[in-house]
A = this chain, B = another copy of it.
Amino acid sequence: MEKIKVGVLGATGAVGQRFVQMLQNHPWFEITALCASDRNAGKRYYDACRWNLRGDMPESVRDVILQECEPGPDCKIVFSALPSEIAGEVEEDFAAAGYIVCSNARNHRYDPDVPLLIPEVNPEHIQLIDVQRRNRGWQGYITTNPNCSTTHLVSALHPLHARFGITKVFVVTMQAVSGAGYPGVSSMDILDNVVPYISGEEEKMEQKEPQKLLGSFDGEGIRYADFVVSAHCNRVPTRNGHLEAISVEFAERPTQEAIIETWRDYRPLAQQLNLPSAPQPAIIYDDRPDRPQPRLDRLAGSVPGMATVVGRLRPDPLFHFKFMALGHNTIRGAAGGSLLNAELLVAQGYVG
């Protein structure tokens, strides 16, 4: 099969670099366009981008000349790593011009006609695309992936919700510094410290994202799922990997064994379709008493950084059960989430 041409919007930033890295040697996609701010347009990618992922910048992109972030590039899909200050409008321009936009920005996540997608969790929400195109008269369309913290929370909860029905969730996050982009968190603020505040994060986790993700498509829009989340979000001095302490109440109390079995048997559509970036399994249950841990487990699984790792499942004195969840924030929680969405769109026939 001929590879599908893709572009990256905001290619020089932290998430943009992850897109570039993850698209190397992708079996379905090839990069044909890298777009950046006006200031950098016209420069070689190597000259404009301070690469700060482990390993060198891939040879194949070093000499690519950066384009401006406006419709025109020769590609079918664009991955958006744009900052929220400009993502909203630019993404609309691209979608209106016929591009398929897979965005990691928050701007359109909560639009009623834009899918907020985790392929394992709510693949049927891609039907919103038809509503979106109809509403907006676009040839192209926009899909989004959730916030990094929400992604792993909802990934861990999804099979439990499907089987037992979640009613209440208490979550405290311990989030890595890379979640704030580059340069992001000053070393003076985080060495020997924890910062108990991340702007806007608790709102996203409590009200905006989990209920949409676990909601159902009714032909016209998403009926939000009905459960309550309380979130405390903290920044800790780890480089990658968001760790979350979670307590859950269900419609009816399951046994501990039933929960473990549900996680172990979980094999949703993305895994059944064998999407190239879908980890097998999607959820890793670790029964060691002190796991998951960010440094040891953030790259666990068959596609490093794409799985959600859960552990320490035990009864909760207030709710039914409590456990820890961990996932990589800049891979599955950002670029990898958008990429897997694009793979789902291809597999489901949404990429013409």
Contact = CB atoms under 8 A, between A and B. Distances in A.
A303 interface: no
Given A54-B295, A191-B192, 4 more contacts: A52-B188, A191-B191, A194-B236, A194-B238
A290 B197 contact: yes
A196 B324 contact: yes
Contact of A193 (B238, B311, B316): B238
Interface in A296-310: 296, 299-300
Copies of this chain present in the complex amount to 4
Interface string A103-136: 0000000000000000000000000000000000
A308 to B, nearest CB: 15
B236 A237 contact: yes
Interface in A262-287: none
A43 interface: no
Interface string A226-251: 00111010101111000101010000
Interface string A201-213: 0000011000000
A289 interface: yes
B317 A228 contact: yes
A172 B238 contact: no
